[in-house]
């Protein structure tokens, strides 16, 4: 049986903003819908958007791989 792992990878993102009065880099990045596709054993990460305020031009994977921090699911809220 295969062993499962959870890790976090990061990307350096460069892009363009066409209207700097109403858009921020975070708005542009968050408006993308990301899909993962497995094609003949290769993983393709596809980002699509319909936002005309800007776009991502370049993404470079950063070298450090970080551990996934599992959020605690035993939280109790006292009122």
* pLDDT, tens only, 6-19: 999 999 999 999 97
Using the CB atoms, write b or e for 22-36: b if 16+ within 10 Å: ebeeeebbebbeeee
**51 phi, psi to nearest 5 deg:** -90, 125
Question: Is 42 within the bounds of a domain?
Answer: yes
Per residue in 18-59, pLDDT tens? Answer: 977 888 999 999 999 999 999 898 999 999 998 888 999 999
Residue 78 lies in a domain: no
Tell me whether residue 55 is in a domain.
Answer: yes
pTM for the predicted model, two decimal places: 0.70
- Maximum Cα–Cα distance across the chain: 53
Q: What is the dihedral of CA 25, 47, 52, 15, to 10 degrees?
A: 40
Give me the number of domains the chain comprises. 1
Token pair 């003949």: residue: 40
Residue 32 lies in a domain: yes
Residue span of the structural domain in which 40 resides: 7-67
Residue 78 has pLDDT above 70, yes or no: no
pLDDT for res 19:
78
Under the banding of pLDDT at 50, 70 and 90, the label for residue 76 is low
């Amino acid at each position: 049986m295969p062993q499962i792992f959870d890790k976090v990878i990061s990307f350096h993102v460069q892009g363009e903003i066409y209207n700097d009065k109403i858009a921020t880099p975070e708005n542009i990045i968050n408006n993308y819908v990301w899909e993962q596709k497995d094609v003949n054993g290769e993983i393709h990460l596809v980002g699509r958007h319909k936002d005309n305020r800007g776009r991502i031009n370049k993404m470079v994977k950063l070298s450090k791989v970080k551990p996934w921090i599992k959020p605690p699911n035993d939280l109790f809220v006292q009122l």
